Amino acid sequence: MKEVKGVRIGNNRSVDELVRELRGCSFGAGRLAKAVDIYEEMLKEETTKFMGIAGALVPAGMRNILAAMIRERYVDVVVTTGANLVHDIIEALGEHHYKIGGGAEKNADTAAVDDVWLRAHGMERIYDVVLHEEAFIKLEEFLHGVFDAMKRRAKGCGINELTKAIGENLSDRDSLLRSAVDSDVPIFCPAIADSMIGLHAWIYNQTAELRVDAFEDMKELIDLFCEAKRTGAIILGGGVPKNFIFQTALIAPREEEGFDYAIQITTNTPENGSLSGATLEEAKSWGKIGVKSDAVTLYCDATIALPIIMDAVRARIAR
């Protein structure tokens, strides 16, 4: 065991300088520093990096960073929720999210607003973010155009082909979906039915035909894992993306079982028994994480942790 070596107050430090000082701390501070160190090692080694994205990170303002991570290949494979893709498209189409309490009023500590009022005024809420329902009308038009084009292209496809087709129809460089196309990073979204994309695919299928297979793209994900020299997982927020990434390790034959590196950033804790909050140690019992892996769980709002980690990582390893 090493001495706790406390962080000193800074004098206009860079983010990475701060993070290096946090190495001597315990609790969340020490874990934040360790997350950066593990990420740095992942990048130095020839690692295939799988990122899971759950939680409304795009509406909260993390879209540019996530897109840059894809574009600059800080990650090589993405598994996400449908909601993050929906909100990525909405911004790519020129619509915006709005911040409750970001305006003139001084007192908006809480996210308390009257949701019935919002409903009456055509606004939908995600914690302290709202957006106008017009954004979803634009989304609908856009998606039906994509579906039309896809229908002509293929009889049946995997969900990753659908996300790719969407990305090809967007031109916004700050889009996750567009960046993924440009950088050849596949985006998996196993629960895509559970999103506006799913709803519109269903509506579309009432009059036309769009065949998307539920299991088709698992082969590509598993191949990516099998063929990797080393494997790393960056899990933002748990949910389906976490398990979908980890379960790949259960079936993929590799010399060393399980992921070699894992970073988990979550506000869930193990005590409720959920997979989102499950420790990476537990993942070892399944063979999802290697018994000799380098792994850390950081209990923190990802909107705070991610910008810090990426500033520090990029200062160490520009790509």
Query: Which residues are the active-site residues?
Result: 288
Least distance (Å) from a second copy to the CB of residue 238? 9
Binding of a second copy at residue 223 (CB under 8 A)? no
CA geometry: angle at 259 spanning 253 and 261, to 5°? 155
| CA 135/CA 268 separation, integer angstroms | 31
- Residue among 233, 85, 63 at smallest CA distance from 163: 85
Using CB under 8 A, which of 214, 223, 227, 256 touches a second copy? 214
List C-alpha distances in Å: 263 to 170, 228, 246, 316: 30, 18, 12, 17
Nearest distance from residue 48's CB to a second copy, in Å?
Answer: 19
**What minimum distance in Å lies between the beta carbon of 47 and a second copy?**
15
Nearest distance from residue 96's CB to a second copy, in Å? 5
Q: How far is the CB of 248 from a second copy (least distance, A)?
A: 9
Q: How far apart are CA 188 and CA 204, in angstroms?
A: 21
Residue type, 49: K
Query: Among residue numbers 284 through 313, which ones bind a second copy (CB under 8 A)?
Result: 284-287, 291-297, 299-301, 303-305, 307-308, 310-311
Contact flag: residue 94 with a second copy (CB under 8 A): no
Q: Judged by CB under 8 A, does residue 202 bind a second copy? A: yes
User: Among residues 222, 226, 230, 254, which is the contact residue for a second copy, using CB under 8 A?
Assistant: 222
* Residue choice 110, 207, 229, 253 for contact with a second copy (CB under 8 A): 110
| Shortest distance in whole angstroms from residue 146 CB to a second copy | 14
Hey, which residues between 234 and 273 contact a second copy (CB under 8 A)? 237, 239-240, 243-244, 247, 250-251, 267-273
How many residues of this chain interact with a second copy, rule: CB under 8 A?
140
Site residues (CB under 8 A) for a second copy, limited to 63-92: 63-65, 68-69, 72, 83
Using the contact rule CB under 8 A, the part of the chain among 163-171, 178-186, 207-215, 228-236 near a second copy is 207-215
Give SS3 for 237: coil
DSSP character string of 59-128: IIIIHHHHHHHHHTTS-SEEEE-HHHHHHHHHHHTT---EETT-SS-S---S----HHHHHHTTEEEETT
Contact 227, 254 (CB under 8 A): no
> C-alpha distances in angstroms, 68 versus 64, 185, 230, 265?
6, 12, 22, 19
Q: Which is nearer to a second copy, 228 or 302 (CB)?
A: 302
Q: Which residue, 11 or 171, is less far from a second copy as judged by CB?
A: 11
Site for a second copy in 20-59 (CB under 8 A): 21-22, 24-30, 32, 54-56, 59
Distance CA 240, CA 63 (A): 19
Q: Which is nearer to a second copy, 152 or 215 (CB)?
A: 215
**Candidate residues 119, 134, 137, 148; the one interacting with a second copy per rule CB under 8 A:** 119
CA 219 distance to own-chain centroid? 21
Backbone angles phi, psi at 253, to 5 degrees: -75, 115
The structure tokens listed for 124 are 């939908």
Scan residues 127-186 and list those touching a second copy (CB under 8 A).
127-130, 156, 159, 174
d(CA 273, CA 173): 39
Out of 44, 45, 102, 208, the only residue in the binding site for a second copy (CB under 8 A) is 102
Span interacting with a second copy, options 165-173, 175-183, 211-219, 223-231, rule CB under 8 A: 211-219
Name the one residue in this structure whose structure tokens are 């695919």: 201
Looking at the Cβ atoms of 182 and 194, the one nearer to a second copy is 194
Neighbouring-strand partners of residue 298: 265
